[in-house]
Structure 1
Amino acid sequence: MKNQTPPDSQDSSEQPRNALDRLIYKLGNMLSLLFIFTVAISFYEVLMRYLFNAPTIWVHETASFLGGCLFVYGGIYALSTNKHVRVVLIYDLVSDRVRRWLNVFHHIMGIVFSGLLSWAAYQMVQDSWFTPFGDIRLETSGSAFDPSFPALVKGMIFVTLCIMFIQFILHLLQELNGLRKQDNV
């Protein structure tokens, strides 16, 4: 009989691989509570609008901001738990050694991808956080509420992509170390 893991336990490949991944995982689990807050304020808006005929000016933009930031954070969260998208049709058919080399390729491409996107996000942040003369002035939505959410989301995208860049480097180093150990066995 095969040793089967209980259905509620995670595969070891889906566990955070290093200290940064563990931090991202723990923070992500805490941040996920913001989805409850988003639902609560959306429910509040529905009550105010349809029950009391007193719609709010802040709920829609706040809910969109929180949802957008959480969605962006989901990228590094998925990478921290090895739940990112991969072509399993090929991946599952090859040996463990070939999988490791596919992982190396994936991490190298991830470094390039996240590095280039980080640069583009930096340009977005620069445009949305600073005036042409270099003074700090956060871009706002232009609505009646007029929060600086657009600039903050762009900042979140930049920070998240920088973290993803570091994650890919750490994962690549771990993968190469695993290959080296495999060759020495």
Structure 2
Amino acid sequence: MNTENLSQQLDTEHEPRNVLDRVIVKLGNALSLLFLFTVAISFYEVLMRYVFNDPTIWVHETASFLGACLFVFGGIYALATNKHVRVVLIYDAVSDRTRQYLNIFHHIMGLIFAGLLTYAAYQMTESAVFSPFGDVHFETSGSAWNPPFPAYVKIMILLTMCVMFIQFALHLIQEILGLRKS
């Protein structure tokens, strides 16, 4: 295989595989601008604290919240672009047919993993959003500002895990259909 064909194969490997993946990639590219916002507010905090001796109470928690949400979103983005971690030493050494079987195994294990994490995230989110008596009461940070960011991060984890479960199911179906065609 020449270098140009390898380059084309790698480009297509990292393309979104379905509509959900394409939406995730577009959303992820837009959300990545929040990293710039996080840097800007962190710079603002440094300026306020060390130049004007007037620190904020909201920047650290906001930056941490945004970073956590973007980190969680990165999981479904990596899956959508097929840039997740895999053992390439084995994967690259086998035939295309064996790779398809490895992909099916990967998607089945991923589906189980995402299903279990979705269940755990649901339990975690339920306790972060509802009081023991069933009233809606968002978990807060407990700081002087006390935003409900812990509850929001847990909701984000739950939503992301639900999407990842669907992604693994769609990828598994596509891989099985691809196996039948070959």
Corresponding residue number in structure 2 for 1:126:
126
Counterpart of 1:128 in 2: which secondary structure?
A: helix
Corresponding residue number in structure 2 for 1:175:
175
Corresponding residue number in structure 1 for 2:26:
26
Aligned runs of 1:66-145 on 2, under 5 Å?
66-145=66-145
Corresponding residue number in structure 2 for 1:164:
164
User: Which amino acid in structure 2 is aligned with residue 99 of structure 1?
Assistant: R
Separation (CA, whole Å) in 1 of partners of 2:170 and 2:49: 49
| Matched-pair identity in % | 70
TM-score (ref. length: structure 1): 0.95
Aligned alpha-carbon RMSD (Å): 1.8
List structure 1 runs of 4+ shifted beyond 4 angstroms: none
- Runs of at least 5 residues in structure 2 that lack an aligned partner in the other structure: none
Tell me the CA shift for residue 4 of structure 1: 1.7
TM-score (ref. length: structure 2): 0.96
Aligned runs of 1:1-20 on 2, under 5 Å?
2=2, 4=4, 11-20=11-20
CA deviation profile, 1:73-120 (whole Å, cap 9, x unmatched): 000000000000000010000000000000000000000000000000
Tell me the CA shift for residue 10 of structure 1: 6.3
Corresponding residue number in structure 2 for 1:36:
36
Tell me the CA shift for residue 134 of structure 1: 1.1
